[in-house]
Structure 1
Amino acid sequence: MPQHHRQSHRNHPTPQVRRVLVRSLDDISLEQVPAPVPGDDELLVRTTVVGVCGSDTHAAAGHHPFIDLPYRPGHEAVGVVAAAGSGAEEDFTPCDRVVIEPNLYCGRCPQCLSGRYNICQELKVFGCQTPGAMTDLFTIPADRVHRVPDGMTDIEAALIEPLATPVHAVAKAGDLTGRSVAVLGAGPIGLLTLLAARHAGAVRIAVTDLLDGKRARAMRLGADAALDADAPDLVEQVHAALGGPVDVVFDCVSREQSMAQATALVTKGGHIVVVGVGAPGTTPIRLDLVQDREIRLEGTLMYTGEDYRTAMSLIASGAVDTTEIVTATYPLPDAAKAFAASVDPEQVKVLVTVDGP
């Protein structure tokens, strides 16, 4: 090779970006990888803010049934378009602010063809089963992003994805106008479920949690009652607070204790929506009560574009107090600290900010 060719090669090294690698809760590091290049129908996005989800911490602890270690997180992401592939140039231009919708679906299975692509038979989640957005730059299909509404901050936009899950769960329960609701668990999803249920018309809402601080936060966000999840007479307390058995229970904990509480709390002909990710394996449930009381028990997974649009509208209306939901932020090099903070039960939503390589 001529000398000047070798010199040129040395002067143009392959660009590198930082990306978070999670091997365990105690082994979270930054790796250096080649900067991605967008395909024809993809966008190259520069991350600005990305959330740490409960699914992330469960996965890092080795407890998530559908995420294998090691993995590269980041599915609650806001960013700025850096470049668009040839097939996406008409719809997006550099500097467009976007939020990702991370469900990567096949588009061919019966569920996708019916519009329920959130339960695609081949579903993968960006940042769970594929490398995610906890990095400087990432690529994603252009049809998997939404523009951030004008006037919405990056911090507010980072709550669109977390809020879309409760919005979808609330929609599963049907018309909540005038109905009573119990939300089990006052973590990020539980608190956002409280807000989504109120927005959907629920008139009486009780929230349960083990922690005083979480219950106080639920009250500040508009709960009618916030009760100790471990109280031996919890069912009686909820019924007293809401005027009887509740119409809908959203179980954002999804463990044996919470499912037993949900079954006892809900009215005959009522509805239990399982929102939280359950532990692998079997969970006992009183099927005799489910059958005898005609209780409807339903799971809910992620969201669709319609849920994203509802979540955006709800945030834009000012109904979501970000200061109550976002409790800590860390820069990308401190991603391990962000995960450690997210495990702290007193925290709600922890965000990672990215300022560029």
Structure 2
Amino acid sequence: MPQANRRVLVRSIDDISLEEVPVPQPGDNELLVRSRVVGVCGSDTHAALGHHPFIDLPYRPGHEVVGTVVAVGAGAGEFAPGTRVIVEPNLYCGRCAQCRSGRYNICQELKVFGCQTPGGMADFFTIPTGRVHRVPEGMSDLEAALVEPLATPVHAVAKAGDLTGRTVAVLGAGPIGLLALAAARHAGAAKIVVTDLLESKRERAVRLGADGAVRADAARPADEVRGILDGPADVVFDCVAREQSMAQAIDLVAKGGRIIVVGVGAPGPTPIRLDLVQDREIRIEGTLMYTADDYRSAVDLIASGAIATDAIVTATYPLEDAGKAFAASLDPEHGKVLITVAGP
């Protein structure tokens, strides 16, 4: 076992480095895991830019992690050394009303591994045994690295209710938007339109199964969306979560429809047309992270082959090039960017 443990430290988007710390030791009911692949999330880049409302700088990222168990603490014998695992990073109290009702994703005391605590963008990390899932046999590391980001849209789609035969608009064709497209299609949506500013992203969305893609800054995007859907959208998934996207969502959703806010909004107030929300009985609902059921659904969806991993993952970097990986994630032409540690 090496004595040194490289771990990514983010002070700002221009100051991302490797710090060297001791290899941690697993405590009771904990696992020591060696990282294999770690995703760079939009939340990571927002935090690095100083824009994330719930992550303070400096921080040590890595919540989208695939790794291999190398040692187990007392009481953590369910996962033997050599087992490949994926991290479910929500660290919840288990005591509050939300946890007791099974909605631990909105725990009153929620912390997120790799956001409010040091994460898995490192050679080694420890994690409670209840916060990992086994990687199924035959699933590659790159596929497994998409389970965590896919679980968020899976949870959002579940929030939207039965999508069978319904029409859907997805705002934003980044990794989460593309995965929301896949999750909505899998849930039975009849027609799906994606909006984005970039032509390359719109083209990628169509290749991945969208019935159409519309320029987010078109003169009348809602009219174009309605033209493709043959009417307004029953459900809108806002994966951008900005004033402009919320205005667009309200403009194109059907009367009595739902808007599911998936993206992380900027700090502070966001103006919306409350007169239209009231008059059209529009339901706007937030969605945060996921639960184990969403994780299992995401695993099954990826295992089914419904997710085009090669089209969504557009770049990989070694751990020592974490700064380059963050920069690539900020490039709007990229999809999902991954960091390899021990290698697939």
State TM-score, norm by structure 2. 0.99
Q: Which residue is 1:38 aligned to?
A: 26
Match of 2:224 in 1: 237
Q: Aligned with 2:333: secondary structure?
A: coil
Q: Which residue identity is paired with 1:315? A: I
Of 274, 277, 293, which residue of structure 2 is paired with 1:306?
Answer: 293
Q: What are the superposed Cα offsets for residues 187-208 of structure 1, whole Å, 9 maximum, x if unpaired?
A: 0000000000000000100000
CA shift at 1:355, angstroms? 2.3
User: Shift in Å at residue 282 of structure 1?
Assistant: 0.5
Distance in 1, matches of 2:342 and 2:64, equals 17
Gaps (5+ residues) in structure 1? 1-11
Moved more, 14-23 or 91-100: 14-23
Partner of residue 24 from structure 1, selected from 12, 15, 18: 12
Contact residue 61 and residue 118 of structure 2 kept, 8 A:
yes
**Residues 1:68 and 2:63 aligned together:** no
Q: Secondary structure at the match of 1:72?
A: coil
Aligned residue runs from structure 1 range 1-357, under 5 A: 15-89=3-77, 91-355=78-342
Offset of residue 317 of structure 1: 0.3
Counterparts of 2:39 and 2:234 in 1: how far apart (Å)?
Answer: 32
- Distance of 2:29 and 2:171 partners within structure 1: 41
Residue correspondences, number: 343
Partners of 1:110 and 1:173 in 2: CA distance: 23
* TM norm structure 1: 0.95
What are the superposed Cα offsets for residues 60-103 of structure 1, whole Å, 9 maximum, x if unpaired?
000000000000000000000001111111x1100000000000
Query: What's the CA shift for 1:232?
Result: 1.4
**Amino acid across the alignment from 2:93:** C
How many percent of aligned residue pairs carry the same amino acid? 76
CA–CA separation in structure 1 for the residues paired with 2:79 and 2:89: 18
Q: Which amino acid aligns with 1:335?
A: A
Report the AA paired with residue 116 of structure 2.
Q
SS in 2 for 1:192: helix
Distance 2:42 2:79 in 1: 31
Deviation digits for residues 175-219 of structure 1, max 9, x if unmatched? 000000000000000000000000000010000000000000000
Q: Tell me, yes or no, if the aligned pair for 2:34 and 2:342 is still in contact at 8 Å.
A: no
- How far apart in 2 are the matches of 1:156 and 1:193? 16
Q: CA deviation at 1:342?
A: 0.4
Structure 2 counterpart SS, 1:223? coil
Query: Counterparts of 1:23 and 1:322 in 2: how far apart (Å)?
Result: 31
Deviating above 3 A after TM superposition, structure 1's stretches of 4 or more consecutive aligned residues are: none
2:13 & 2:179 partners in 1: Cα distance? 25
Match of 1:23, SS? strand
Structure 2, unmatched stretches of 5+, are none
Question: Which secondary structure state, in structure 1, belongs to the residue aligned with residue 323 of structure 2?
Answer: helix
Q: CA deviation at 1:344?
A: 0.3
d(CA) in 1 for partners of 2:275, 2:101: 33
Deviation for aligned residue 1:16: 1.4
1:15 Cα offset (Å): 1.3
Aligned residue type for 2:161: G
CA distance in 1, matches of 2:316, 2:61: 16
Q: Which amino acid aligns with 1:15?
A: Q
Q: Distance in 2 between matches of 1:114 and 1:206?
A: 35
CA-atom RMSD in angstroms: 1.0
